[in-house]
Chains A and B, each alone.
Chain A
């Protein structure tokens, strides 16, 4: 049988950290990394173009088809960075927010059995580096971050932050 090739969203990992600030409120930082292929990659690239985001600023520094999302939220504020670059919210960038909402929704709704981590990725440095980009993590910790349940929770968290940002934007 021919080798089955997988297209879509794969190699998803996530980590979130919650801490109490000196002003006594909680802030949370979340990271999510995924590899986009096929239609999902195409849709992401199209959203980048439609949002007038400069490709050189928003392309993943490790691998072109990786998407790294980093969110930061506290009670009255939330921010999101795509591939290590802050994503401002304005009418122009709304297509990118829609696309990030779509990707996180797709990850959240994925069946556990559909979570794919391919061999090539598992055996590469990307497995340990992709989530934090400039920081490497050990194999055991990284395995935990790639577990389907963890990735799904992360996608939900990030989707919530996107919703909060949108809510605030439409309420301004």
Chain B
């Protein structure tokens, strides 16, 4: 077998999922990843193209840590589903016609992650060591918010585990579906 064909170039790497709460009675689930352009995919360019379509200001949804990092956060009210909201790189993505291409992009992206093979879900050690602390939860240090009783490195490993990332991707997909059903439904 050709060795090169065995290498995966999905354009999506360092996928992680974290569940937390920003304020009382709300639950956040955040899916983060790094997008890049490579032989088989143009994931970073595709994301930038969607940004261009939905906003006149290209910096509006840009990740402040690094432009190729994408953080999707689903916030829901514990007691009221109607207050659900989706944030892209820390900015609220309103459900309206203008933003539908971004919802469509996120639905397809999360679906792709759900369908990825475990062996293709690559996590870069440098990213995990130097960047993840500030990219997993937008605008907040991940490690600083963990209780001291926990082994922080172990927790970090677990949020990058393929099974965990996939389950968060599925959650994001269901969440977008829910928002779309409310938007289009009677």
Residue A12 at the chain B interface, CB threshold 8 Å: no
A91/B101 in contact, CB under 8 A: yes
B107/A170 in contact, CB under 8 A: yes
Contacts of B100 in A (CB 8 A): 91, 94-95, 98
Cβ-closest chain B residue relative to A47: B97
B180/A170 in contact, CB under 8 A: yes
Q: How many B residues have CB within 8 A of the partner chain?
A: 18
Q: In the bound complex, how far is the Cα of B184 from the Cα of A105, in angstroms?
A: 9
B180/A108 in contact, CB under 8 A: no
A167/B186 in contact, CB under 8 A: no
A101/B184 in contact, CB under 8 A: yes
Majority-rule SS of B interface residues: helix
Residue from A155, A166, A171 having most chain B Cβ neighbours under 10 A = A166
Interface contacts beyond A163-B181, A169-B104: sample of 16 additional A-B pairs, CB < 8 Å, sorted by A: A94-B100, A95-B97, A95-B100, A97-B184, A108-B186, A109-B186, A159-B186, A162-B184, A163-B184, A163-B185, A166-B184, A170-B103, A170-B176, A171-B111, A172-B108, A172-B111
23 pairs of residues in contact across A and B, judged by CB atoms under 8 Å: A91-B53, A91-B100, A94-B97, A94-B100, A94-B101, A94-B104, A101-B183, A101-B184, A105-B185, A156-B186, A159-B184, A159-B185, A160-B186, A163-B181, A166-B181, A167-B180, A169-B104, A170-B103, A170-B108, A170-B180, A171-B111, A171-B173, A172-B107
Residue A39 at the chain B interface, CB threshold 8 Å: no
Residue A11 at the chain B interface, CB threshold 8 Å: no
Instruction: Identify the B interface with A (CB < 8 A).
Output: 53, 97, 100-101, 103-104, 107-108, 111, 173, 176-177, 180-181, 183-186
Contacts of B107 in A (CB 8 A): 170-172
Contacts of A91 in B (CB 8 A): 53, 100-101, 104
Contacts of B180 in A (CB 8 A): 166-167, 170
A98/B184 in contact, CB under 8 A: yes
Q: How many A residues have CB within 8 A of the partner chain?
A: 23
Residue A50 at the chain B interface, CB threshold 8 Å: yes
Residue A104 at the chain B interface, CB threshold 8 Å: yes
Interface string of A90-131 (1 = CB under 8 A from B): 010011011001001100110000000000000000000000
Contacts of B176 in A (CB 8 A): 170
Contacts of A156 in B (CB 8 A): 186
Q: In the bound complex, how far is the Cα of B97 from the Cα of A43, in angstroms?
A: 12
Contacts of B181 in A (CB 8 A): 163, 166-167
Q: In the bound complex, how far is the Cα of B181 from the Cα of A160, in angstroms?
A: 10
Q: In the bound complex, how far is the Cα of B177 from the Cα of A105, in angstroms?
A: 18
